[in-house]
Amino acid sequence: MHAIDDVFRPLDERDDIFRREPISMKKLLKGDCSWGTIKLILGWIIDTVNMTISLPPHRVERLAEILASIPIDQKRTSVRKWHKVLGELRSMALALPGARHLFSHMQLALSKKIKSRVNLGRGVHDSLEDFRWLLEDIKRRPTRI
C-alpha cells in the first residue's frame, strides 16, 4: 500500500465527495492484490518464475469436450457449430504450442460451406487429431512464454 501512496495521494478532508480511495479494500480482502508468482489472469494460469502459461483445468476439460463432440467419422456439421468450435479453439491456441498453424484446413472448410453445412474432410480431421495430441501434451506440461 505504501507504493500506491507514493503514486496516488491518499484521501484527506478537503477532497471532493466523489473522490474515492485509490486502493480497493474489497479487492485487497479478496486477495486480488496479493503477491504471487502464479496468477490466474484473464482465463490463463501465468507463472512468472518459470515463464509459462497454461490453461486452467476447466478450459482443458472444455477442449476435451469440443474434440470429443466431433467424431473421426463425422462428414458434416452445421456452420453455427463450426463457428463455435473455431472460436473456442482459437481462444485456447495461445497455450497450445503450434496450434495457430492448424487452422488453415478448418478455415478453408468454412469458406467452402454449402448452405448451412460445413464438410469435414481429411485435412480438417487431421487438424482435429493434432489438437487431440496437443490436448494430451498440455495436460503434462505448461507452455513456455
pLDDT band at 86 (very low <50, low <70, confident <90, very high): very high
Flag whether the pTM goes above 0.85: no
Question: 127-145, pLDDT tens digit by residue?
Answer: 999 999 999 999 888 999 8
| CA 47, 129, 79, 60 torsion-angle sign | negative
CA 140/CA 91 separation, integer angstroms = 20
pLDDT tens readout for residues 30-79: 777 777 899 888 889 999 999 999 999 999 999 999 999 999 999 999 99
